[in-house]
Chains A and B, each alone.
Chain A
Amino acid sequence: MPLTLFERIWNDHLIEDLGDGVGLLQIDRHVVHEVSSPEAFQRLAAAGRTVASPGQTFATQDHILSTAPGRTDTTFALGTEYVRLLRTNCARHNIQLFDVDDRRQGIVHVVAGEQGLALPGCTFVCGDSHTATVGALGALAWGIGSSEVEHVLATQTLAQSKPAPMQIRVDGRLRPGVTPKDLILGILRSFGITAGVGHAIEYAGEAIRALPIEGRMTVCNMSIELGARFGFVAPDDATFDYLYGKPYVPAGRDWERALAQWSTLRSDDDARFAKVLELDASRLKPFISWGTTPGDIVAVDEPVPDIASLPIGRRDGARAALAYMGIEGGVPLEGLPVDVVFIGSCTNSRLSDLRGVAEFVRGHTVAPNVRALVVPGSSQVKKAAEDEGIDVVLRAAGFEWREAGCSMCLGINDDVVPPAARCVSTSNRNFEGRQGKGARTHLASPITAAACAIAGRIVDAGRLAERA
């Protein structure tokens, strides 16, 4: 029977069919972080249980840890409890931790790529909804809740409802100035935030193939914004080149054997998907969000939709979103003053993102009304960027250059957007209050965010560059 790649990896890890569409799956890699793990460790201990497979478990500090330059455990005082508990729990259970001062520390989904924790064809889970990021490497990766974290710690397995296989095909080529972030925002604009509920998304087509691995990570990262827990790209030579030589990637004879297996990881030509969506990459533009769900997307140079133009069922939500965002329907976003620019998060904080930003801002300065932050995705990204002088360019332009972590994406530490302030953010969620109480978030690519920081208002990066 022809199989999709999703079914192939699922079957390969299916220990037992539990009925009702639920499978008991073997978990190959589990990464925990300081915020979604304490309850799981505590209940594990209370039940007198231990960690089943510490060698397949990793940990990093990222969510609540401060990103202030020179930060320590206690810089953000309310986070100290979490940071220290993770350290204690990892030591007790012999789990490899990338700790606060470790050169490998960083956002779990950035670290998982650069350390080679996620591998093609493996099952990979983490107590964080953006875990599908490493689906870019051909892993079956998904986000789980704290009870599931506890289940995986205790058993190295997970009882999981089987989603339906789905394909999003993007053919054609991205135009110059259109980035991988614009590609996924374009998908969200076309298909909406529930298109992927109950599904596992395989991204395919010429435009996906043409993306470098870090670009594929940006796309897979926002699968959850489409409602899908799972999102991935079949591995190819670009994947293998990316992985080769990374610390936890198999080496020597293991590499040869793994490569032979990984090369077979694709959907059969005649495999059946429950749902197929198609998009033409050549029609995509730089996008930005206008409302309070990640499906509220317009091109930067287009007006926000007019309420009357929306389907009746969406009007109340859109009206509330416009009021919250302090904008009007039918009017362009361009020209709106910006207070904060955040470049970071598991969506856009990798070296290629920071290189693009540095290249764009060289010779410019951040507008005086803007607080602009660049938060590298990992300590390794930070070091690599500093080795190239990226930090010097950004600091000279007026950006804050911070330590690695999740930061202003979720506002759980003190990196928050003030009430009613407008923030152009390279992160993944523009929910009401996500970046702080009353914060108004506009999701965009790193290049668009950089252009807005320089202009001090929302602007199309291409237009800003033309004028310069």
Chain B
Amino acid sequence: MKPLTSLTSVVAPLLRDNVDTDCIIPAEYMRSLSTNPGRGLFARWRYKADGAEDPGFVLNDPRFRHAEILLAGSNFGCGSSRENAVWALQRFGIRCVIARGFSDIFYGNCFKNGVLPVRLPEAAHALIVAEVQQRDECEVTVDVRSCRIVLPSGATIGFDLDARRQAQLLSGEDEIGATLRKRATIDAFRAEHARRAPWLYRQSPVDA
């Protein structure tokens, strides 16, 4: 996974609440394993009925085509657990989503792909919204090390990020590798658990 330490980019505003993962990537863009998920990103809003880009949609605006930061409303990424939603954002080029809240599954999926979800309280969120709306192009810096966002006005906003996830983003480490290094602890736990609940470890053989 590509590490993420700091990011400076124009902010693309998509100020809707409850943007669900079906909207982030509709199911029909998941019908082939070889399709670039970035093509399906926000497809319902990004493309018109004839398949042409809708110039009214934020990511079709020349100012935001290369935005790496998306500013959303509350409860972003609700609904389906499809990790394709994060893959779609990432393949499009988005590496950070700032919102007033995220669904639990989407929030977790972001970190597995080097995407930073920043959850902000209403007042701090409003501060960014105000600066984005004042400017044609609002460029901000999001720093993972200091957990701060620097706005064009010079104002800074701190955000919460637990140390474990922060370290994961900074190092781009393989979480599975880290777990596998605990194999002795896991095996000991399983042996003891199997004594307490042996039926969970006894399985009929796989069908021939």
Q: Which residues of A contact B (CB under 8 A)?
A: 12-13, 15-16, 18-22, 24, 26, 28-29, 35-36, 38-39, 47, 49, 54-56, 64, 78-79, 81-82, 85, 94-97, 119, 121-122, 127-129, 143-148, 150-151, 154-157, 159, 161, 163, 193-194, 197-198, 224, 227-229, 247-248, 250, 254, 257-258, 261, 293, 317, 320, 410-412, 419, 429, 431-434, 437
Of residues 140 to 182 in B, which have CB atoms within 8 Å of A's CB atoms?
162-165, 174-176, 179-180, 182
Q: Which are the 9 A-B pairs with shortest beta-carbon distances?
A: A250-B199, A147-B112, A55-B203, A20-B162, A412-B27, A129-B81, A145-B83, A145-B109, A146-B83
Find the B residue at minimum CB distance from A163. Answer: B104
Docked complex Cα distance between A24 and B190 (Å): 12
Residues of B within 8 A of A21 (CB): 162
Q: Give the residue of B18, B23, B201 whose beta carbon is less than 8 angstroms from that of A193.
A: B18
Q: Are B105 and A145 in contact (CB under 8 A)?
A: yes
Residues of A within 8 A of B165 (CB): 20
Q: Are A35 and B79 in contact (CB under 8 A)?
A: no
Q: Are B101 and A194 in contact (CB under 8 A)?
A: yes
Docked complex Cα distance between A55 and B190 (Å): 14
Docked complex Cα distance between A318 and B23 (Å): 17
* Cβ of B123 to closest chain A Cβ, rounded Å: 15
Does B44 make an interface contact (CB < 8 A)? yes
Stretch from B30-38, B54-62, B126-134 at the A interface = B30-38
Residues of B within 8 A of A29 (CB): 200
* Cβ of B54 to closest chain A Cβ, rounded Å: 13
Residues of A within 8 A of B186 (CB): 15, 24, 26, 155-157
Interface string of B175-208 (1 = CB under 8 A from A): 1100110100110011001001111111110110
Given contacts A16-B182, A19-B164, A434-B22, contact A148 B200 (CB under 8 A): no
Residues of A within 8 A of B207 (CB): 96-97
Does B72 make an interface contact (CB < 8 A)? no
Q: Are A432 and B22 in contact (CB under 8 A)?
A: yes
Q: 11 A-B contacts, Cβ less than 8 Å apart?
A: A20-B162, A36-B82, A39-B33, A96-B207, A129-B105, A148-B112, A154-B176, A154-B180, A161-B108, A224-B79, A293-B20
* Cβ of B61 to closest chain A Cβ, rounded Å: 19
* Cβ of A10 to closest chain B Cβ, rounded Å: 13
Find the A residue at minimum CB distance from B15. Answer: A316
* Cβ of B133 to closest chain A Cβ, rounded Å: 15
* Cβ of A59 to closest chain B Cβ, rounded Å: 10
* Cβ of B207 to closest chain A Cβ, rounded Å: 7
Q: Are A193 and B203 in contact (CB under 8 A)?
A: no
Docked complex Cα distance between A149 and B189 (Å): 21
Of B16, B28, B198, which is in contact with the most chain A CB atoms at under 10 Å from its CB?
B28
Interface string of B72-107 (1 = CB under 8 A from A): 001100111111001000000000000001011100
Residues of B within 8 A of A228 (CB): 104
Docked complex Cα distance between A127 and B199 (Å): 24
Does B113 make an interface contact (CB < 8 A)? yes
Given contacts A19-B164, A145-B112, contact A81 B32 (CB under 8 A): yes
Docked complex Cα distance between A78 and B16 (Å): 32
* Cβ of A53 to closest chain B Cβ, rounded Å: 8
* Cβ of A200 to closest chain B Cβ, rounded Å: 10
Q: Are B206 and A412 in contact (CB under 8 A)?
A: no
Residues of B within 8 A of A147 (CB): 83, 109, 112-113, 175
Find the B residue at minimum CB distance from A434. Answer: B22
* Cβ of A16 to closest chain B Cβ, rounded Å: 6
Docked complex Cα distance between A254 and B199 (Å): 6
Residues of B within 8 A of A432 (CB): 20, 22-23, 44
Does B137 make an interface contact (CB < 8 A)? no
Residues of A within 8 A of B175 (CB): 147, 151, 159
Q: Are B200 and A128 in contact (CB under 8 A)?
A: no
Q: Give the residue of A19, A56, A412 whose beta carbon is less than 8 angstroms from that of B200.
A: A56
Q: Are A412 and B198 in contact (CB under 8 A)?
A: no
Of A47, A94, A157, which is in contact with the most chain B CB atoms at under 10 Å from its CB?
A157
Does B17 make an interface contact (CB < 8 A)? yes
Interface string of B46-68 (1 = CB under 8 A from A): 00010000000000000000000
Q: Are A254 and B108 in contact (CB under 8 A)?
A: no
Given contacts A16-B182, A96-B206, A157-B179, contact A227 B78 (CB under 8 A): yes
Find the A residue at minimum CB distance from B23. Answer: A432
Residues of B within 8 A of A148 (CB): 108, 112
Residues of A within 8 A of B185 (CB): 15-16
Q: Give the residue of B32, B80, B112, B164 whose beta carbon is less than 8 angstroms from that of A78.
A: B32
Find the A residue at minimum CB distance from B177. Answer: A47
Q: Are B101 and A155 in contact (CB under 8 A)?
A: no
Docked complex Cα distance between A146 and B82 (Å): 7
Residues of A within 8 A of B206 (CB): 54, 94-96
Residues of A within 8 A of B162 (CB): 20-22
Docked complex Cα distance between A433 and B84 (Å): 16
